[in-house]
Amino acid sequence: MDNLKELSSVKTFGGWQKRFSHPSAVLDCDMQFSVFVPPQAEQGHPLPVLYWLSGLTCTDENFSTKAGAQRLAAELGIMLVMPDTSPRGEGVADAPDGAYDLGLGAGFYVNATQAPWQRHYQMYDYVSTELPALLNANFKLGKAAIAGHSMGGHGALILALRHPQRYTSVSAFAPIVNPMDCPWGQKALSAYLGEDRNQWQQYDACHLLASQSHFSLPMLVDQGLADNFLDTQKLSRPLQLVCQQQGIEAQFRYHQGYDHSYYFIASLIDDHLRFHAQHLSLTE
């Protein structure tokens, strides 16, 4: 692993929760990511992998420390990969007013074209190409699935919609599904991509799904009904409407009392792991 620096390694549920850093050519900075390596890695067989994309303000460690996913991932033999949510380091642009929804921690999984963002903010290429190539060079990996929360749910959905052949399944918690038509998305897309809304369409799950004649990748979306961003950021529901209009089968589940936090994710993460395990051919 000459191209990876191991920052930490902790044994849990028979596997290893690890954290790495590496120089990213795509982002022109050093990046960190977390990985849970299940105990089945010792058998030497290719490991199915679930990529988890986190939301605004998060790092690569939020999911690993708060979701409680390692226990079932160890049982199922799934490797968990948790990238950071933006480039970081000296010289990386940030929101001038320190806003949480732009800049550091808010990469939105797009390839920026506008100054001062374009030098480092190429998160789409990082999570879709560079990071998977790095992992495949250092681990023995099998099939892949993808999931995420909020901004990360947006990232997971657009990656699955644009590259359905790369994943067995996609799931999301409280995803931003129509960034072209919500405050978080409009702020980020205008900053990173400019004001040409035609350029925004490639990163909008509702637009991508509506423009496809066929999409058959298994999809699961969970949404808390006490989420204070549900209506203000138009989470989940617009994508469900597009699925209905397109005749696309997908599971959308709404839960009374649950908010936007990791308490919600921790409550239902086992459902998502089992959902992906089924399509990764790990269960009947």
What confidence tens digit (pLDDT) does each residue in 123-166 have?
Answer: 999 999 999 999 999 999 999 999 999 999 999 999 999 999 99
Among candidate residues 251, 269, 259, the one with its CA nearest the CA of residue 80: 269
Q: Which residues of 90-99 are buried (b: 16+ CB within 10 A; e: fewer)?
A: eebbbeeeee
Q: Per-residue confidence of the chain (284 residues) as pLDDT tens digits?
A: 668 999 999 999 999 999 999 999 999 999 999 999 999 999 999 999 999 999 999 999 999 999 999 999 999 999 999 999 999 999 999 999 999 999 999 999 999 999 999 999 999 999 999 999 999 999 999 999 999 999 999 999 999 999 999 999 999 999 999 999 999 999 999 999 999 999 999 999 999 999 987 899 999 999 999 999 999 999 999 999 999 999 999 999 999 999 999 999 999 999 999 999 999 986 54
Q: Which residues of 135-149 are buried (b: 16+ CB within 10 A; e: fewer)?
A: beeebebbbbbbbbb
Cβ distance 55 to 152 under 8 Å? yes
**Which alpha helices (H) appear in 85-150, and where do they start and end?**
123-125, 131-138
60 assigned to active site: no
| pLDDT the model gives residue 281 | 83
260 assigned to active site: yes
Among candidate residues 138, 119, 120, the one with its CA nearest the CA of residue 79: 138
pTM over 0.85: yes
| pLDDT the model gives residue 284 | 45
| pLDDT the model gives residue 282 | 66
227 assigned to active site: yes
Catalytic residue among 150, 169, 171, 236: 150
Q: For the sheet with 141-149, list strands across it.
A: 5-12, 15-24, 29-37, 79-83, 47-53, 141-149, 170-173, 219-224, 251-255
Distances (CA, A) of 157 to 54, 103, 206: 12, 21, 9
Catalytic residue among 86, 222, 227, 279: 227
Q: How far apart are CA 152 and CA 44, in angstroms?
A: 31
What confidence tens digit (pLDDT) does each residue in 85-113 have?
Answer: 999 999 999 999 999 999 999 999 999 99
The C-alpha angle with vertex 206 and arms to 205 and 207, in degrees rounded to 5, equals 90
Catalytic residue among 260, 272, 276, 279: 260
